[in-house]
Amino acid sequence: MPTCDGLEATRELRKAGYKGIITALTAHIGTTEHDAALAAGMNFVLHKPLQLSALKEFLFTIEADMGENNLTVYEPIDSPD
C-alpha cells in the first residue's frame, strides 16, 4: 500500500516547489474528486476509460499552455541531501 495518494503526492510536490504539469488519471468522475485534484495542485484531470479524443484534446491543451505560460512537462526539483 502506498504511503500517500496522488492528492498528497501532488501537495508535497507543489510544497517542494515543483512547477511542472501534474495530471490525474482516475476512474472517479464525480465533481468532488475532480475539484479535489485541482485544489491539490494538479493541472488536469483525465477520466478512465480514457478516450482517444480526450487524450488528443489534453495533449493539444498542454502544447498550447506550454507556449502561452512557459510551462514545462518536467522540471527537476533539487533534492535535499
Q: Residue 28: which of 56, 59, 5 has the closest Cα?
A: 5
Rounded to whole angstroms, the Cα distance separating 12 from 42 reads: 11
Residue with cell 468532488: 32
Question: Given this model, what pLDDT does residue 40 score?
Answer: 96
Residue 42: CB atoms within 10 A of its CB come to 21
pTM value > 0.75: no
> Domains in the chain, start-ordered, CATH in brackets?
6-69 (3.40.50.2300)
Q: What is the pLDDT along the chain (81 residues), one digit of tens a residue?
A: 478 899 999 999 999 999 888 999 998 878 898 899 999 999 999 989 999 998 998 888 888 777 666 655 555 555 554
Distance of CA 33 to CAs 38, 50, 60, 67, 78, Å?
Answer: 9, 16, 24, 28, 30
Pairing of strands 23-26, 44-47: parallel
